[in-house]
Amino acid sequence: MKVRYRRRARLDIEDIYQYIGKRNPRAATEIVARIRYAADRPGSLPYMGHVDRSPGTYEWVVVGLPYVIVYEINEAAHEIAIIAVCHGAQDREPA
């Protein structure tokens, strides 16, 4: 399935990069690359994530990092939409 990022998810990734990049630009680049790599995984196996808090959404944890990728599956469009990328300790509203 094709993976696409919604605006909020792109902004989340940009915020993560900016926050970490203030202290360590190289680490920020590596972390964002790992998040994007992990976000591509549901494209191959869409139902591998856990059911999320909101109906119809799933979450996938970035291995080795404290980030959670929230996504939804659109079978008709053969597409995965990355909705948000959150820190695991973040108190978040349902997507």
pLDDT band at 46 (very low <50, low <70, confident <90, very high): confident
The whole-number pLDDT of residue 92 equals 62
Q: What domains are there in the chain, each with its CATH number?
A: 2-87 (3.30.2310.20)
Q: Model confidence over 62-78: pLDDT tens digits?
A: 999 999 999 999 999 99
Please tell me which residue, 24 or 47, carries the higher pLDDT value.
24
Going from the C-alpha of 15 to that of each of 23, 40, 53, 56, 66, the distances in angstroms are 13, 19, 23, 25, 15
Cα of first residue to Cα of last residue in the chain, in angstroms, is 21
Helix/strand number for the chain, H first, E second: 2, 5
